Chain A
C-alpha cells in the first residue's frame, strides 16, 4: 500500500514540478521586480502593520521585539491562507484539463500547496533579516540551538494546509459558494489568530477558545523558540503534530471518497 502510494508519487513528480514552475512563470510574468516581490511583500506588509499597531494604536509588549513578534505570526498565517485558498480553487480551474486526460486529482491542490511553500520559504529570508537586525539591546533576538526544531512547526503548517485544501477543493466541486464563504472565514480566522496581539490581553474564557485554532499552536511554537529562546513544551509539540496529522488524514479521506465524482461536475 505505502509502496504503491510512493511509486505513484514518483511517477508524477515531474508533472508536479512542471505545474509548480508554471505557476511561478505565470505569476511573475511582466512584473519588473519579479520574484523579488516574494521577499518584499511580507516586509512591506509587516511595516504597514507595525506602523498601524505600534504608532497609531500604541500597542506595547514589554521586553518583546514587536517586529519579530508580528512577522513570525504573519508569515505563517499568509502561508496557510495562500496555500489553502489556491488549493481550494485548483480543481475548478483545472476542470478543462481533467476532462481531457487522466491524472490523479490530488495533484492539483497539492501542487498549489507546494507552490505556496516555496513562496513561504522565500519569505524566511526577510524574516531572518528582521530577526538579526531589529530591536534594541533588551529585545534583540539571538539565534539559538532550538532553531533546528523550527522546521517542525512549518511542516505542520504545510500538512495542515494540504488537509484543509483537500477538504475545501472537494466542497468547491459541489458547491461554488464555498469560495465566498471561505473568504469570510479567512477574514475571521485572521482576527482570531494572534498575529499582532497577544492572547494574554483577552479574558481566560476567550483564551481557551484559541486552543482550537491550530494556527495559534504553530505560531506559538515558533515564537517560543525565536522570541523566548526556549524549547516548546511537550503539549505544544503534541498540539502541533496532532492537529496537522488529523486534518491531513480527514482531508485525504474526504478527497478519496469523492474524487471519482468530480468529473461529472466538471
Chain B
C-alpha cells in the first residue's frame, strides 16, 4: 500500500538568511564562499506498509515524524529516494487547512471540503452528516472567526473524517474538543480502522498508540531506530526517554 524507498530529506538552513536584497548584495560583495548549512531531517528511510495495517510513528520532538508524513502525503518531495502510495490519501496532518475565518461554518464546509479533494456532489450528500457530527447545527451561519478553538476543531474533524479514505494520515488529532467529542472522534477512528483503512498515526501518547497500532516505527534524528511489534518497541522507547 505504502512503500518508502531510501527516502532522505535535506533542508537548507541558509534559505532564511539570504532572502533579502541586502543579504544578496552583501553576499555578492563579500567573496566568502556560502557556508553550506544543511540539515538532514530524514536519512535513508525505508519501510513498507500493507493494506489495512495501522502503523504508529513515535520519536522525540524533531525526530522527523511530521516531515515523513509530509513526504508521504505529497506536500514535500524527498531530496532522495522514492515513495509509492496506492490509493486515496486523507491527510489529517493539520485540521482545518484552508479555513477562511471570515466565512461562515457552512461556507467553510464547502471550501475545506474542496481543499481536501472532495467533489461537490459528495459534499452536498454528506453535508447534514458533517453538521450533525460536529454538533454545530445552531452555528452554521456564524463566521468561523467567532468560534472557540474547540468548536473550530470539531468542525474541522467532522469534515476531514467524512470520507472513507484508503490511507489515513493522522498527526495527533484525537485530542480535539471536549471529553464527549474526544470519545466520539476516537470511535470514528476505530470505525475507519475496522473498515480496512490503512493508517499512519503519529502521537506522543503511548497509550493510544498501543491501543490502536499493529506495528510501530521508532524514529530518532531522522533515522529508523527500530520497527516492529508495538508493545516491545513502545517499552524500549519509554525506557530510553525516561533515563
Contacts and interface: CB of A to CB of B under 8 A. Distances in A.
A92 to B, nearest CB: 12
Interface in B1-34: 11-12, 15, 19-21, 24
Interface string A99-119: 111110000000000000000
Which interface residue of A15, A26, A29, A177 has the most chain B CB atoms within 10 A?
A15
A97 B97 contact: yes
Contact of B98 (A97, A175, A176): A97
Contact of A174 (B19, B70, B77, B93): B19
Nearest to A94: B98
Nearest to B74: A102
B115 interface: yes
Contacts of B70: 99
Interface stretch (B102-110, B176-184, B228-236): B102-110
Nearest to A173: B19
A196 B91 CA distance: 52
Interface in B29-85: 70, 73-77
Given A22-B100, A263-B75, A264-B15, A14 B120 contact: yes
Given A22-B103, A25-B103, A263-B76, A101 B97 contact: yes
B11 A14 contact: no
Contacts of B103: 22, 25-26
Contacts of A101: 73, 75, 91, 93-94, 97-98, 115-116
A176 B20 CA distance: 7
Interface string B171-208: 00000000000000000000000000000000000000
B146 to A, nearest CB: 13
B114 interface: yes
B91 A102 contact: yes
A22 B144 CA distance: 14
B75 A264 contact: no
Interface residues of B, number: 31
A265 interface: yes
B19 A99 contact: no
Given A15-B114, A101-B91, A265 B15 contact: yes
Contact of B19 (A11, A14, A26, A265): A265
Interface in B91-142: 91, 93-94, 97-98, 100, 102-103, 107, 110-111, 114-120
A208 B111 CA distance: 48
Q: Is the interface of A mostly helix, strand, loop or mixed?
A: helix
A18 B110 contact: yes
B241 to A, nearest CB: 28
A98 interface: yes
Interface residues of A, number: 26
B21 A175 contact: yes
A176 B117 CA distance: 30
B97 to A, nearest CB: 4
Nearest to B122: A14
A160 to B, nearest CB: 28
A260 interface: yes
B98 A99 contact: no
Contacts of A96: 97
Interface string A1-38: 00000000001001101110010011001000000000
Contact of B75 (A15, A22, A26, A99): A99
B229 to A, nearest CB: 32
A243 to B, nearest CB: 30
Contacts of B75: 98-102, 263
A175 B93 contact: no
A83 B153 CA distance: 34
Interface of A: 11, 14-15, 17-19, 22, 25-26, 29, 96-103, 174-177, 260, 263-265
Interface of B: 11-12, 15, 19-21, 24, 70, 73-77, 91, 93-94, 97-98, 100, 102-103, 107, 110-111, 114-120
27 contacts: A14-B114, A15-B115, A17-B114, A18-B114, A18-B115, A22-B100, A26-B103, A96-B97, A97-B98, A99-B75, A100-B75, A100-B91, A100-B93, A100-B94, A101-B75, A101-B91, A101-B94, A101-B115, A174-B19, A175-B21, A176-B19, A176-B20, A263-B76, A264-B12, A264-B15, A265-B15, A265-B19
